């Protein structure tokens, strides 16, 4: 091993047990280290890093109340309080990596399982510092940034065939991928794989496939990596991205959910699950994921004020539409909103959204007078302060609906459509309040999904067609065209093979819904009548 010295390095040691801090301190002093700072909590660790920089941080995983070691690392890296030059070593009382693994998004430079001895600590530190020194010129080049130099240095290290080669190969592979240098990355990973089936190299090759447009092959390879090693979290993220790009939100949701089974403490994956589940119309899963995300957010730098609002919006919507009936959800929302208000500096927009949501909750609770008062007050503020924000405006519409003032809500909506006529992004959001989308992007999307469904219908692939229409219906539940297509596909299937009871019910419900939406002057009225006759004719035959 190269000659490295620990003597002049600056150390920071964090543990909530004074006993352990002094033990580690004694070990470090014995190694001749002079510059040591001891802190009792995650908060103190972060505060120390805000003031000074350190070469090595030794932190226990368990730091008592407040952030744990993993959350501290997440925050330090996220806020750029430490660079790659600072070594972060996580010490864990629990057997090795499993606890640590259960939460990792940011990997520490090393793990140490308790009990640790002075000799063990020194050995590990010497190794880590030797690696850091070998990579230091690379870090300097990357910080400059001088990528050409970094690649040259890493290439030398990679082929040196010494104990720093593997680390260099990993970094080099990432760099090639970032630069789109696919051929070079492929050669590098291929070389690494000749020796052993390394997960990171296999995933690298799968990513290259994907970047070359072979999306399905890439997904198969990622799947295979996960079959061989279900604990390899980066492969779940890559696969979820792949499925997202291919427009397979159901599989994407399943993949994110699998990653969370392995590592439930990842707040970013919980938020992703919430978003994709909501898009899939799976409201119970979305709500559950938001709950986890809010809980994890308590000590995470990835927590946002908007998280509580998103949870609240979804939960209130679910309560209003009867998709959720548990009454305690209401209390939960109130608590989440209050917490967000305490913890974050809410701007006027978020304060107003909160106020409207509170009004809707009062309405749900049957306290219509209170709801009216809350909503009027918020409305007054919108007008007085001249707030123009589509998210607030959507809340205004929903609040009127919650008070049972459908006509007033519709009037406001028509006004908003005029106000935002040239703002496609805002129109996309307003689409969800309308029977049919007005934004170009959503119109195109609905048209495309509809076309796909009609193609499938024409090939008598009724189940696939129904899937298509179902996707569109999730987003635009009262879109007459989609509903009618659905009815038509159900009738087709019924003629071919008969319908199971739940689809029979779906058919009746859809016809009932359409009946409530179209008057005799509606352009689709004739089609509706014809389909209804066909459906009932079938029923009687």
The residue from 7, 65, 80, 119 that contacts another protein (CB under 8 A) is 119
CB closer to another protein out of 18 and 284: 18
Minimum distance from residue 348 beta carbon to another protein (Å): 48
Q: Which stretch binds another protein (CB under 8 A): 191-199, 251-259, 270-278, 449-457?
A: 191-199
CA distances from 489 to 110, 468, 474, 483, 515 (A): 58, 11, 17, 10, 18
Q: Which stretch binds another protein (CB under 8 A): 15-23, 361-369, 434-442, 474-482?
A: 15-23
Torsion from C-alpha of 153, 155, 156, 158, nearest 10 degrees: 120
Q: Does 227 bind another protein (CB under 8 A)?
A: no
- Between CA 255 and CA 327 the distance in angstroms is 31
Q: Which stretch binds another protein (CB under 8 A): 18-26, 317-325, 338-346, 408-416?
A: 18-26
DSSP state of 282: -
Q: Does 198 bind another protein (CB under 8 A)?
A: yes
Q: Which stretch binds another protein (CB under 8 A): 89-97, 143-151, 380-388, 454-462?
A: 89-97
Q: Does 116 bind another protein (CB under 8 A)?
A: yes
The residue from 3, 80, 115, 520 that contacts another protein (CB under 8 A) is 115
Minimum distance from residue 405 beta carbon to another protein (Å): 48
Torsion from C-alpha of 278, 279, 281, 282, nearest 10 degrees: -50
DSSP state of 435: S
Q: Does 113 bind another protein (CB under 8 A)?
A: yes
The residue from 196, 325, 366, 383 that contacts another protein (CB under 8 A) is 196
Give Rg (Cα) of the chain.
Answer: 29
CB closer to another protein out of 115 and 180: 115
- Between CA 79 and CA 419 the distance in angstroms is 39
Residues of span 342-381 touching another protein by CB under 8 A: none
Q: Work out the end-to-end distance of the chain between its first and last CA atoms, rounded to an integer number of angstroms.
A: 86
3-state secondary structure 184-246: HHHHHHHHHHHHCCCHHHHHHHHHHHHHCCCHHHHHHHHHHHHHHCCCCHHHHHHHHHHHHHC
Minimum distance from residue 155 beta carbon to another protein (Å): 19
Q: Does 190 bind another protein (CB under 8 A)?
A: no
Residue span 142-181 as binding mask against another protein, x where in contact by CB under 8 A, dash where not: -------------------xxx--x---------------
Q: Residue 298: which of 49, 44, 66, 14 has the closest Cα?
A: 66
- Between CA 483 and CA 65 the distance in angstroms is 53
Minimum distance from residue 238 beta carbon to another protein (Å): 18
3-state secondary structure 30-88: HCCCCEEEEECCHHHHHHHHHHCCCCEEEEECCCCCCCCHHHHHHHHHHCCCCCCCCEE
Q: Give how many residues touch another protein by CB under 8 A.
A: 35
Q: Residue 482: which of 458, 505, 510 has the closest Cα?
A: 510
Q: Which stretch binds another protein (CB under 8 A): 41-49, 88-96, 141-149, 386-394?
A: 88-96
Minimum distance from residue 125 beta carbon to another protein (Å): 11
The residue from 101, 268, 334, 349 that contacts another protein (CB under 8 A) is 101
Q: Does 231 bind another protein (CB under 8 A)?
A: yes
- Between CA 417 and CA 409 the distance in angstroms is 12
For 371, the token pair is 């709801």
CB closer to another protein out of 113 and 517: 113
Q: Which stretch binds another protein (CB under 8 A): 78-86, 122-130, 303-311, 386-394?
A: 122-130
Under DSSP, is residue 429 helix (H, G, I), strand (E, B) or coil? helix
Q: Residue 48: which of 86, 17, 7, 22 has the closest Cα?
A: 86
Q: Does 97 bind another protein (CB under 8 A)?
A: yes
Among all chains, which residue has been given the structure tokens 């970047």? 211
Minimum distance from residue 192 beta carbon to another protein (Å): 9
CB closer to another protein out of 123 and 179: 123
Q: Residue 532: which of 516, 518, 512 has the closest Cα?
A: 512
Q: Which residues form the interface with another protein (CB under 8 A)?
A: 1, 19-20, 23, 26, 93-98, 101, 113-120, 122-124, 127, 161-163, 166, 195-199, 229, 231
């Amino acid at each position: 091993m190269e000659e490295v010295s620990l003597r002049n390095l600056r150390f920071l040691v964090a543990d909530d047990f004074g006993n352990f801090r002094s033990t580690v301190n004694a070990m470090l002093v014995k190694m001749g280290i002079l510059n040591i700072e001891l802190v009792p909590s995650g908060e103190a660790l972060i505060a120390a890093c805000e003031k000074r920089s350190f070469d090595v941080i030794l932190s226990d995983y368990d730091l008592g109340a407040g952030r744990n070691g993993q959350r501290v690392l997440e925050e330090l890296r996220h806020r750029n309080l430490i660079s790659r030059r600072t070594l972060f070593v996580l010490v864990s009382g629990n057997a090795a990596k499993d606890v640590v693994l259960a939460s990792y998004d940011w990997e520490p430079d090393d793990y140490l399982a308790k009990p640790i001895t002075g000799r063990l600590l020194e050995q590990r530190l010497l190794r880590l510092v030797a690696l850091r020194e070998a990579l230091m010129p690379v870090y300097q080049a990357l910080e400059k940034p001088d990528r050409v130099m970094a690649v040259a240095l890493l290439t030398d290290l990679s082929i040196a065939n010494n104990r720093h080669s593997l680390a260099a190969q990993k970094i080099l592979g990432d760099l090639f991928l970032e630069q789109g240098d696919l051929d070079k990355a492929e050669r590098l990973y291929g070389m690494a794989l000749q020796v052993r089936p390394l997960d990171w190299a296999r995933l690298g090759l799968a990513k290259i496939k994907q970047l070359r447009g072979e999306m399905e092959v890439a997904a198969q390879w990622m799947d295979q990596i996960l079959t061989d090693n279900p604990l390899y979290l980066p492969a779940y993220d890559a696969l979820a991205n792949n499925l997202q790009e291919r427009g397979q939100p159901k599989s994407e949701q399943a993949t994110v959910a699998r990653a969370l089974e392995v590592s439930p403490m990842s707040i970013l994956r919980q938020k992703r699950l919430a978003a994709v589940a909501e898009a899939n119309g799976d409201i119970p899963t979305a709500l559950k994921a938001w709950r986890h995300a809010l809980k994890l957010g308590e000590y995470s730098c990835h927590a946002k004020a908007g998280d509580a609002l998103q949870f609240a919006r979804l939960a209130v919507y679910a309560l209003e539409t009867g998709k959720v009936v548990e009454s305690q959800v209401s209390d939960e929302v109130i608590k989440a909103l209050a917490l967000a208000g305490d913890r974050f500096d809410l701007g006027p927009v978020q304060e107003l959204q909160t106020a409207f949501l509170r009004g809707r909750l009062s309405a749900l609770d049957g306290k219509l007078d209170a709801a009216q008062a809350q909503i009027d007050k918020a409305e007054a503020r919108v007008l007085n302060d001249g707030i123009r924000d589509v998210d607030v405006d959507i809340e205004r519409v929903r609040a009127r609906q919650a008070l049972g003032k459908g006509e007033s809500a519709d009037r406001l909506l028509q006004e908003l459509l005029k106000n935002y006529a040239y703002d496609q992004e805002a129109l996309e959001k307003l689409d969800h309040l309308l029977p049919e989308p007005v934004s170009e992007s959503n119109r195109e999307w609905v048209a495309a999904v509809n076309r796909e469904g009609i193609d499938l219908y024409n090939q008598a692939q009724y189940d696939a067609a129904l899937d298509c229409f179902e996707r569109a219906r999730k987003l635009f539940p009262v879109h007459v065209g989609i509903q009618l297509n659905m009815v038509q596909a159900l009738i087709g299937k019924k003629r071919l093979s008969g319908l199971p009871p739940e689809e029979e019910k779906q058919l009746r419900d859809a016809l009932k819904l359409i009946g409530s939406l179209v008057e005799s002057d509606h352009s689709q009225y004739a089609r509706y009548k014809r389909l209804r006759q066909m459906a009932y004719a079938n029923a009687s035959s």
